[in-house]
Amino acid sequence: MNINANLDGNVCTLAVDGRIDTLTAPQFEQTFNEYSEKCDKMIFDFAQTEYISSAGLRVIIIAHRTMESKGGLVIKNLNKNVETIINVTGFGKKLNIEY
């Protein structure tokens, strides 16, 4: 997994390339924590994210709660499989997802 981070003013964009699974989720979480302090609004770009497991979902939820009190979290460019997982859990209704 590679994460491409981009800081534009107070908006951060984390573009994840590859799998977010049990093994890579900690790295994703760490990157998020690093950038969440630097910006008000967070964007997860999952265009290149082919896989996400519950470990990855956990990071998304932590990110969502962290950003709630600030500018919020936006998730965009979900591929179909990842979107299905998010919807199965019912999180889809709560998360701010851009299509």
| Contact call for residue 30 and another protein (CB under 8 A) | no
Give the containing element (helix H, strand E) for 96.
Answer: none
Binding mask 40-79 for another protein (x = CB under 8 A): -----------x-xxx-xx--xx--x--------------
Q: 93 or 99, CB closer to another protein?
A: 93
In the complex with another protein, the residue whose CB is nearer, 22 or 30, is: 22
CB 68 within 8 A of CB 35: no
**Cβ 95 to another protein shortest distance, Å:** 8
Q: Which residue has the tokens 């979900």?
A: 78
Token pair belonging to 26: 């900690």
Residue burial 45-60, b: 16+ Cβ < 10 Å; e: rest: bbeebeebeebbbebb
Give the footprint of another protein on this chain (CB under 8 A): 21-23, 51, 53-55, 57-58, 61-62, 65, 80-81, 85, 88-91, 93-94
